[in-house]
Amino acid sequence: MKLVHYNVGGLAGTQSKTKVKNALDKIEGVQDISVDLSRGTMDIQYNDPATPEVIERCIKNTGYEILK
């Protein structure tokens, strides 16, 4: 299993957490999603066929910004 970590801008409250988790759950291969609202971070465990590019695109399409 692979792990990616993101600092995500715009995460505020349980509604945004639920929104992004529901979107990521639809990606085949995503196994576990951990959102830390206080830090604005996400840890996502995944297997193939999911890729970091697909996961990042999903986060951005849900309306959040990935901070570098």
Q: CATH code at 56? A: 3.30.70.100
40: left (phi over 0), alpha (psi -120 to 50) or beta: left
What's the pLDDT score for residue 68?
81
What pTM did the predictor assign? 0.93
Instruction: Give the range of the structural domain holding residue 16, as residue numbers without chain letter.
Output: 2-67
pLDDT tens readout for residues 18-37: 999 999 999 999 999 999 99
Domain count, the chain: 1
